[in-house]
Amino acid sequence: MSLFRDDGIVLRTQKLGEADRIITLLTRGHGRVRAVARGVRRTKSKFGAGLEPFSHADVQFFARGSDLVGRSLPLCTQTEIISPYGNGIVTDYARYTAGTAMLETAERFTENEGEPAVQQYLLLIGALRTLSRGEHEPNLILDAFLLRSLAVNGYAPSFEDCAKCGIHGPNRHFSVAAGGVVCGDCRVGGSVVPSSEAIALLSALLTGDWGYADACEARHVREGSGLVSAYLHWHLERGLRSLRYVEK
């Protein structure tokens, strides 16, 4: 039996029995962790108050095995809310939908429980802080988070040099399967020709050039979001397929 202490972002909560909850967190040091919070749904219980999606919490875990991923889930034995980011997110529809997509993406990119994912954790906490303060348009914060999440997980898209042959850009064709922009010679079926403004926006979001991103026209923001969404789903679908293959 062992005790662990870590801080993390609550990704989601599920009911368990009459009064308990299963809390899923993306922690700083232990990656994604699921743990049981006992009694949190009793109205008079102060324990676990604030263990809601988007909250940044300091949690003490009590695990029966030698690590956090044993046969039974660890228990949350002490919790302290560090930053209730949800307060600045759930009251605004655009922030809420962007934030929810971030939590789901962070969970999808941390398939293996207990495996440290510190870069993904840092991206998530930074994005939620920015979102809760309303520092930029929610969909821009979301797209920046998605692009950077893809990058830290090994799927960095190219927005300048050809993703296949490396020839220096700008290149006009964009292909999710090829990994970003491609030159005329490397162009494959299914590639599209986005506006140069949309490509420049995605490049700015990936590198953190917020001055450029904030000044973009709405139509280019929408176009860029469509490309990010297509790119993300292509990689997540492949991830799922390879996971099913492994389980067989």
Segment contacting Zn ion by CB under 5 A, of 52-60, 124-132, 161-169, 218-226: 161-169
Single-letter amino acid, residue 113: E
Min CB(195)–Zn ion separation in Å: 20
Asked if 36 and 59 count as a contact pair (C-beta separation under 8 A), the reply is no
- Close Cβ partners of 198 (under 8 Å, ≥ 6 residues apart): 220, 223, 224, 227
Q: Which two tokens stand for residue 64?
A: 């029966």
* CA-to-CA dists, residue 51 to 8, 47, 55, angstroms: 11, 9, 6
Q: Is 162 in the site for Zn ion (CB under 5 A)?
A: yes
Number of residues in contact with Zn ion, rule: CB under 5 A? 6
- What is the contact mask toward Zn ion in residues 171 to 190, using x (rule: CB under 5 A)? ------------x--x----
**Identity of the residue, 167 or 243, whose beta carbon is nearer to Zn ion in the bound complex:** 167
When the beta carbons of 160 and 209 are compared against Zn ion, the nearer one is 160
- 182 contacts 190 by C-beta, under 8 angstroms: no
Indicate which single residue of 165, 177, 188, 193 sits in contact with Zn ion (rule: CB under 5 A).
165
Binding to Zn ion by residue 213, rule CB under 5 A?
Answer: no
Of 165 and 192, the one with the shorter C-beta distance to Zn ion is: 165
* Residue corresponding to tokens 């599209």: 192
Which CB sits closer to Zn ion, 109 or 159?
159
Cβ atoms 187, 173 nearer than 8 A: yes
Whole-number Cα distances in Å, 105 to 22, 148, 149, 159: 19, 11, 8, 22
Supply the minimum distance, in Å, between the C-beta of residue 169 and Zn ion: 10
Name the residues that contact Zn ion, by CB under 5 A.
Answer: 162, 164-165, 167, 183, 186
